[in-house]
Structure 1
Amino acid sequence: MAIEITGQNGNGKILSSRTERPEGNVSRDEATAAQQETGRSSTADTVSLTNTSAQLRSLENTLAELPVVDSQRVESIKQALADGSYEIDAQRIADKLISFESSLSR
């Protein structure tokens, strides 16, 4: 459903009230005098978080503290490349590429 940002319908007519809008009438209760004076609603809004959301927040914080790169592994590979002891398993690389390509076509 399209939202008319300009306040005009497709015919160029300016829509002046909620009842004229094509999406229908959206009703809200009018604020009482006390609500207008204090700026507060008469009902109390509450938010409660589940245990799962608290666990997710904790996990997110833990992951944010971890380094992006495993510098110890990078250094060991650099050393192996430098001294010529790094071995490349072409068959393993080919198998992984085929597996990856197969998962993309599913």
Structure 2
Amino acid sequence: MSTPISAPANQPINGIARIRPTGFATDNQAAVNRHCCQARGETVELSQQAQTLQQVSACQCAQPVVDQSRVERLREAIENGGYSIDSQRLASKMLAFERDL
């Protein structure tokens, strides 16, 4: 997967991408190549890890932040007095959470 960018050559991008300049500059050609590279752009090849992170991020952004239907069901149960907490289950979940840290 290649993505055109306009960043300067050899500038690191979060340590998970490699920049490959479209041309190599010598000391005498640096200004000319810099202008050419900016006009043509450069490409970035994302590592497999970066591609996976992009996919996970896209999936996560597509999910709703709050499940409104569940919130409404819980709100109604609390208002009606029908919501009860299983203290044994809550305690065991809290202990399991602490154990996993």
TM-score normalised by the chain length of structure 2? 0.53
Equivalent position of 2:85 in the other structure = 88
For the aligned residue pairs, the C-alpha RMSD in angstroms reads 2.8
State whether structure 2 residue 32 is matched by structure 1 residue 48: no
TM-score normalised by the chain length of structure 1? 0.51
The share of aligned pairs that are identical, in percent, is 34
1-structure distance, mates of 2:68, 2:61:
16
The number of aligned residues is 71
Residues 1-106 of structure 1 mapped to structure 2, 5 A cutoff: 31-36=26-31, 38-40=32-34, 47-51=44-48, 53-104=50-101
Structure 1 unaligned residues grouped into runs of 5+ = 1-29
Structure 2 unaligned residues grouped into runs of 5+ = 1-24, 36-41
Could you say which structure has the higher strand fraction? 2
Instruction: Give CA deviations for 1:17-52 in whole Å, capped at 9, x if unaligned.
Output: xxxxxxxxxxxxx9432323x1439xxx75323455
Task: Report deviation, 1:94.
Answer: 1.4
Whose Rg is larger?
Answer: 1
1-structure distance, mates of 2:77, 2:70:
11
